[in-house]
Structure 1
Amino acid sequence: MDIKTASALRRLRLVSAPEAVSFLLLLLCSILKRTTDFNAVPVMGMVHGVLFVLYVVLWALAWYRAKWTLGRGALYAVLSVLPTGGFFAERMLRREAESEIIAARARQEGVVA
């Protein structure tokens, strides 16, 4: 894995958890809006919208750089629209990056991985 691919995966991983948290907070604010006088939906909606657009842009870049299959790219796209999907995406991306680092180190040392 080259440095640009690793960077693209890292950026996507770093934005996936905050995007999931903002989604959950938006759902909570929506419930509070319906049940109380508290209305933070416009603010949380904007925060979540910005993070979601950032996730989609970084997802497309990571898909291009990592040359994911259609299924792998679609998996990360579906995870972005599920309330807790960003947490799973972050964990999967971390594992993927770690396995790539281990494989790269093994290739460097001359061990076939």
Structure 2
Amino acid sequence: MTDRTSSFALRAFIYISRAEAISYLLLLGIAMPLKYAMDMPLMVKYTGWAHGVLFVAYVVQLLYVAYLLKWDVLRIILGFIASLLPFGPFVFERWITKD
């Protein structure tokens, strides 16, 4: 693949990563408390749906970028683990862009 393709794929991954992280923080920090403290489950329905779609997009794009940039298995695993932690994608983005 060309450098342009790799660069575009990495940039897309970073945007998806940020969106996924923000959706996760919204789900944990706003939607879940509203559901259990104020009996407002609708926010979880929509935020959870958006987060689920973004999570799948994150994993697919992670694998695509890993293929293009020939990442090792450890970096791929760390990228996946980062998606499970509330601020993980931000930390992972910082780590992969400093190289």
Asked if Structure 1 and Structure 2 have the same fold, meaning a TM-score greater than 0.5 normalized by the shorter chain, the answer is yes
Deviation at 1:37, TM superposition (A): 2.3
Structure 1, residues 62-97: CA drift from partner, whole Å, max 9, x if none?
01101001111111111111111111122223323x
Q: What is the identity, as a one-letter code, of the residue corresponding to 2:78?
A: L
In structure 2, the partner of 1:20 is 21
- 5+ residue gaps, structure 2, are none
Between structure 1 and structure 2, the one with the greater Rg is 1
**How far apart in 2 are the matches of 1:75 and 1:90?**
11
- TM-score for the superposition, normalised by structure 2: 0.87
**How far apart in 2 are the matches of 1:17 and 1:90?**
9
**How far apart in 2 are the matches of 1:64 and 1:94?**
16
Map 1:23-34 → 2, pairs under 5 A: 23-28=24-29, 29-34=31-36
Pick one of 75, 89, 103 that aligns with 2:92. 89
Structure 1, residues 20-79: CA drift from partner, whole Å, max 9, x if none?
110011112112211112221000011101111111111010011010011111111111
- 5+ residue gaps, structure 1, are 97-113
User: SS of the counterpart of 1:83?
Assistant: coil
Q: Kindly indicate whether the alpha-carbon contact (under 8 Å) linking 1:12 and 1:55 is maintained by their aligned counterparts in 2.
A: yes
Pick one of 75, 80, 83 that aligns with 1:80. 83
Pick one of 40, 47, 53 that aligns with 1:50. 53
- TM-score for the superposition, normalised by structure 1: 0.77
**How far apart in 2 are the matches of 1:8 and 1:95?**
17
Q: How many residues align?
A: 96
In structure 1, the partner of 2:8 is 7
Q: What is the identity, as a one-letter code, of the residue corresponding to 1:63?
A: A
